A and B are shown apart, each in its own frame.
Chain A
Amino acid sequence: MLAFLKNSPSKKQITWIKVIVFLVCLIPLLRLVWLGFADNLTANPIEFIERSTGFWALFILLATISLTPIRLLTGRVWQIQLRRMLGLFMFFYVCLHIITYVWLDFAFDWLDITKDIAKHPRILVGFAAFLLTVPLALTSSNSMMKRLRERWKQLHQMVYIVAILAIVHFWWLVKKDIREPLLYACILMVLFGIRIYYKYMKNHKSINSTQINNL
C-alpha cells in the first residue's frame, strides 16, 4: 500500500484510479436521484438540490486546485492526470446547479431571473463564476491545449478567480453562520499560499544562483 503511494502508479493503475474517481464523482448525483425517488429531499427539495449541487461543485473545484500544490509539496506528478476529469465534473455540477435554479426554482421565468441576478450581488457573483467556467470547459481538450499553448495556462489560472467568486457566492448566502464558507476560504488560501510560496522560493533560488554565478 505504501509502495503504491511512494512509486508512481503504472499506466494500468492510472486507468483504474481514473475509473474509480469517475464513479466516486457520480455519487452526489446518484444520491440526489435516490433521495428524490424516496421523497426524502427535505421540506424544500429545490433548495436542497441547489445547495447540494453547489456544494459538490465547490468541493470538486477545490480538489482540482489542490493537485498542483500536492505536486509542489511531494514532487509527485501522476495525480495531475486527474485534473481534466475533476475540472469537468466541477463544470457538470455547476451545470446541474444552474439548471436547478433556472428550471426548478424559477421555471424559466427569464424576467424574474434577470431581476434576481441584477438585484442580488450574491446571485450576480455566482452567475459570473458560472460564465468563467464555460471557457475553461470548452478549452479542456488536448487539441485546444496545443493550440493555445502558453495562453492556455494563463486562461486556466482563472480557476482561482472562479473559486473566489464561488466562495463569496456561498458566503453571501448564509445569514449569520459563516463557519462553512470560512472553512472553504481558508482551504483556498492555503492552496494558493503553497503556490505563491513555491513561486517565490523558485525565484529566490534562481536569483541566488545567478548571484553566485556572477561572483
Chain B
Amino acid sequence: MIIQTKSDIFPSEITPKSVFDNRREFIQKAGFGLIAGAAGLLSNPLKAATVSSGTTEGAGRLIGRANTQAIIKPQSFGAHQKISGYSKTTYGAGEKLTAYEDITTYNNYYEFGTDKDEPAKNSRLFKPYPWTVSIEGEVKKNKTISIEDIYKLAPLEERIYRMRCVEGWSMVIPWIGLPLAQLIKWAEPNSNAKYVEFVSLADKQQMPGQNLQVLDWPYTEGLRMDEAMNPLTIMAVGLYGEQLPNQNGAPMRLVTPWKYGFKGAKAIVKIRFVEKMPVSSWMKAGPNEYGFYANVNPNVEHPRWTQSSEKRIGGGLFAGRIKTQMFNGYTEQVGQMYAGMDLRKNF
C-alpha cells in the first residue's frame, strides 16, 4: 500500500514556480493563441479531410488519419482553442451527443467546489498552460513531459464515449485524446510496474475547493497496468473539437468509459508506476462505497444510488431512465480483463 504524505507533492515540484508565475509569458502565449486561433478558424484543411463515415462501434476503427506532422500547425493553448489535426473514429457511432453546454456546466470536480455548477464558475482563473507532467516510480528513468509534447506523442483521435457517473446519471462525450498506452510506451515502465497512479494538481491558490478537506488532496486515482494499456483508455486533452475546458480537467485528464466517472482524474501532474495497488482519494474517503476497480456494474448496488438504471443528461423532464449496461456497454473491449474475478468483492 502506498501511503502518501502531504510532502509528496509540491506544486512547485511539478511546474517550476518561476514558469507558473511568469505572467508575461502567459499573456504572450494567450496572444499567440488568439492569432493562431483566428487563423485556424479561417482555414482548417485537416478537419475537412477527416469527415466521419462510421457506422458501427465495434473495435473503434480509425477513419481518416492525419498524422503527417508537417502540415499540422503548432497548437496554441487557451480557452476555446480549436484542436487542429485530430482524426475521427467509429467509437460511439449512432450515440446522441450530450450538449456542450451540459458537459461544461454540470461537473463533479471537487477541487473547484462540491456543487455541480461550481467548477465552471470557480475554474475561470485556473491556468492549464504551461503544464508539465512528471513520470515517476518503476520506470527506466524519471522524466517530465510538457503538454505540448503530449499533443505530439501520438496522433490525436476523437472518441465518443458514454460516461456513467456513480450518482446515477450519464452523458455521451466527444473526447479528443491519445491512447494512454502511447504515453506509457514513451514513459518506459520497468517490469515491476503493475499499477499506474495518477495524481492531480494540488494548489489551493488556483483550486479554491481544496481549502475544504472533503477529500485527501491531491486527488489520486489508479489503474491496473492492463487497464491502463487497454485501447479504450485515453488521456483526453479536448472535447467537442476544442481544448479541454478547465472545468472538465484541463489540460489533460484520464478517461476510462467502462468505469464510473470518478476514475477520470483531472489536471494530471504526475503519473507514477507502482508495484502495489494504489489507494485512490475516493477509496480513502469511503472504503465501503468506492473500490479500486469502480467498473460500471448494474448488478452491484451502491449504498446511496441505484446502479441498475441511469438518467441520461439532456433527456428532459419526461425521458425516464435507461438500463445501465455491464461495463457501461464496453464488455466486448474490456470484459476479458476481469475473467474469473469476483466483481462483487472487487467493486
Contacts and interface: CB of A to CB of B under 8 A. Distances in A.
Interface of A: 36, 42-47, 104-107, 109, 112, 115-116, 119-122, 172-177
B106 A43 contact: yes
B19 interface: no
B303 A176 contact: no
Q: Is the interface of B mostly helix, strand, loop or mixed?
A: loop
Contact of A120 (B99, B106, B305): B305
A115 B301 CA distance: 10
Contacts, number: 67
B275 interface: no
Q: Shortest 6 CB-CB distances between A and B: which pairs? A: A43-B106, A43-B102, A177-B114, A107-B320, A176-B214, A43-B313
Contacts of A106: 320-321
Contacts of A122: 303-304
B80 interface: no
Given A45-B317, A120-B303, A112 B117 contact: no
A43 B114 contact: no
Given A104-B318, A106-B321, A44 B304 contact: no
A52 B309 CA distance: 23
B35 interface: no
A1 to B, nearest CB: 37
A122 to B, nearest CB: 6
A55 B313 CA distance: 22
Given A46-B311, A177-B212, A116 B306 contact: yes
B110 A44 contact: no
Contacts of B106: 42-44
Interface of B: 99, 101-102, 105-106, 110, 114, 116-117, 169, 212, 214-215, 285-286, 301, 303-306, 308-309, 311, 313-314, 316-318, 320-321
Contacts of B215: 176
B127 to A, nearest CB: 25
A107 B321 contact: yes
A173 B167 CA distance: 10
A104 B320 CA distance: 6
Contacts of A112: 306, 308-309, 321
B110 A47 contact: no
Contacts of B214: 176-177
Contacts of B313: 43-44
Most buried by B among A36, A45, A122, A173: A45
